[in-house]
Amino acid sequence: MNFFKVWFLGIIKPSHAFNELRKKPASNWGFWAILISFLGTSITTILALHLLGRRPFEHSYLNFLSDRNYYVAEMIFLPIFGFAIWILTSGIVHLVLCLVGNFDQILNVVGMGMLIIMPAVWLWDWSMIGLNRYQMDMMAISHSVFATWGIMLYSMGFKKILGIRTLPAIGLALIIPGVYIPLAMIFIR
């Protein structure tokens, strides 16, 4: 099964997608999933916000970036941020497993888990931008739902691919948004 079929299968039958992912080249598919997720967001959502003249919800913690230029800079650093988060969260999960889990497989689970939800995130964000409802409160609530969906996907992937029981898989899955969200609050607007 090719990459895009596994991605689509992840949207409609995630359990089957992770069974297929287990057979795929370790970390290679996770890499492509992260690239598509964050580059796709940069060239669609972030570019749209810039072209529409929107300003970030909050002023940047990065003092050298003005509100006016923030989205231009974010289009460049969002994919870099995505790769850093992918490696960091996968590495933390690997360490929590006391280095017994296959790091490459963890990279695949985290990468594909992020990518599976992206069509829904993109569609939601684009709709909110188009309806002029792209506001912090609305995005915080809706993206919390997407994060919960991601936790379910990571848990399922850890169970299927690493053979971890349900509660430990959920605990490991909680690490990902627990690291990702605070860092995103600092760097992503």
Q: What is the pLDDT of residues 33-51, one digit of tens each?
A: 999 999 999 999 999 999 9
- Residue 10 in domain: no
Answer whether residue 34 is part of any domain. yes
The mean pLDDT value for 145-157 works out to 95
Contact at 8 Å (CB) between 56 and 70? yes
Average pLDDT value over all residues in the chain: 89
Q: Is 189 exposed, middle or buried (0-12, 13-18, 19+ CB in 10 A)?
A: buried
Residue 140 burial (C-beta neighbours within 10 Å; 0-12, 13-18, 19+): exposed
Provide the pLDDT confidence category of residue 99 given band limits of 50, 70 and 90.
Answer: low
| 27 pLDDT more than 90 | no
pLDDT of 101: 65
Q: What is the pTM of this model?
A: 0.85
Q: Is residue 80 part of a domain?
A: yes
Q: What is the pLDDT at residue 97?
A: 83
**Predicted pLDDT of residue 100:** 60
Number of domains into which the chain is organized: 1
Domain annotation covers residue 11: no
The answer as to whether 8 is a domain residue is no
pLDDT (tens digit, 9 = 90+) per residue, 48-89? 999 999 888 877 777 777 888 889 999 999 999 999 999 999
**CB-based burial label for 102 (10 Å; 0-12, 13-18, 19+):** middle
Residue 188: predicted pLDDT: 79
- pLDDT reported for residue 65: 78
Whose tokens are 């695949």? That residue is: 108
Instruction: Over range 111-126, report the average pLDDT.
Output: 94
Task: State the residue range of the domain holding 116.
Answer: 25-187
* Domain assignment present for 105: yes
